[in-house]
Structure 1
Amino acid sequence: MLFRSTVEADLDRFLPLVTVDPASGMTPEKYRENLADRQYRPERTWIAEDGAGTVLALAVWWGGSDEERPAALDGLFVHPSLGTGEERTDLAARLLGAAHTAFAATGPNAPPEYHVFLPGDWHERPEAVAALTWRREAARRAGLPAELERLRYAWTPQDARPEPARLLAFEPEPDDGVFVGLFHRTLAGSLDSHSLKEAAELGAEAQARADVEFYRTFMRGERSWWRVARDADGEVVGFGLPSRNHAFPVIGYLGVLPEYRGRGYVGEILGEITRILLAEAAPEEIRADTDLGNVPMAAAFERAGYRNFARRLVFSAT
């Protein structure tokens, strides 16, 4: 079996493997769209082919159009001739492992995460569980054993508009250092798994700087949208980062400082982010994610009229 990245001439050979199921919404048309704007690339698309040249498995990584390293595995497919048992899982795992080895030779050793988008009720749907199970096991064998489940939310202008803030006032803050400090301070007692994991690896200060850099350079929202929240006494109590990704305006990040939690501030910061995105991005839809275990944030989204429409599983090395 040969495992390799693709070239342009392979396109019509591997696209027939791209089929929609409950654990993958990728279509051939969507692949072509993302290929055209360089979010998918031949070198980020890997195949397994047998001695006769038949493509038996396909893995597609996504990344920013101006980024050299893939950010996340976006799709994993195996030819139906391999059935639904161990042979399918084994081939998928070996394909991922080969690609991970190649990626590590040109960048960080940790392989890119694998993001799987699932229906909100996937736990109760046997067909969704089946579509996920072999992919999850292949990812585990290929070095992505850690798993995080996130809730996906959406809000449209037809939904209830956020009420004016009563408790907080918001202002722009041009100094990135202020936001580094706020990210750092909000880590204490945070329920955000990603931030806590990265802080444990990098240190809290380095993680805070990395967060600011991420929203500054990788995300597509305007820096001028960022806000600091102050209470009636003029004290900084939190912050909000409206942003956008490659497809939607998003709730980038919001934080309440530990000593001010439990006072209803999270809802007002969320409302301010929503208002800014409405005014600045003219969205048809605003998207947001939060960890399944972050119950206060999920409750805030639901109070604000955001609808939990799906879930995201993130598989990672740690």
Structure 2
Amino acid sequence: MSLHPTDLTSPHMADEQQRAGEAQVLTSTPPALELDGISLAFREKRSSLPVLQEVSLTVKPGEFVSLIGPSGSGKSTLFHIIGGLLQPQQGRIRMHGRDITGERGHISYMPQQPALFPWRTTLDNILLGQENAPRKDAAASSRSVSERERRKEALQWLEQVGLGKFAKAYPHTLSGGMQQRAAFLRALLSPQELMLLDEPFSALDALTRADMQQWLLQMWEKNRRSVLFITHSIEEALLLSDRIYVLSARPASVVHVVDVPFPRPRREEITLDPRFVEWKRTMTGWMREEKYKLDDNINNAEGVHKNTSDGGVNHYE
């Protein structure tokens, strides 16, 4: 798949007809990713540690979905299962309707740390995802785009994200934010359609993180790749996502699903909206409750009445 950079400085506002057409396409095509009842327990000698318990979620084509939950609840483990590095004891994984449980090579991945090779230039690092693509994806890519064209396209992307002057630079000369941009471009230019982003901004300072959130919003709004995003920041999840899955304490299960009500395109000012503040407060309460459970400070949350639907999962609009 060839992506062509566009002008990120001019905000794009889709008209109602285009939005309606996009919604119709989303409802008529299989999910880009579907997890159905994923369960996993790690075994050590005679004991076992349940980590995931019947986790189900979907990512529609072109949708930005976030996962939040207490530390240690199994979010990164879930990514390893999606990527085929771990085999679930129960449940299936489907992409575009096809069962890919246990298979590798179907996702592009951006880890918490940039993980750039120090002996490769910025340009060569962002081309790495295409070089390491599964044979069938690499073959399809090579038929449509030559190596020279891929390098030219990558250079255009580097210009778009402010790294054009650093194409031949090595990672140690780049700031943390610049390294994260390079890592994101590596995932973006990989031929796989689904992107898994595992807390990509957690190591950045607050100001750089805010800048990277806005940059990611602009990049995603222009390309609409299917994204599953892990974060511990409720504000970040509300700002970036179409939908948010809230995981319980270990063993993790889905306890809340939030359809984010704020229209796109979004900018940082939305965080001051009273509705945004109220959602943040509500979700903070959920997360605090799960953290207490994980820490064994409380056994059960009392006095909380939950109206359940969708088989026991709370769904919020």
Give the structure-2-normalised TM-score.
0.28
Give the structure-1-normalised TM-score.
0.28
Higher-RCO chain (CA-CA 8 Å, sequence separation at least 6): 2
Q: Which has the higher strand share?
A: 1
Q: Which has the larger radius of gyration?
A: 1
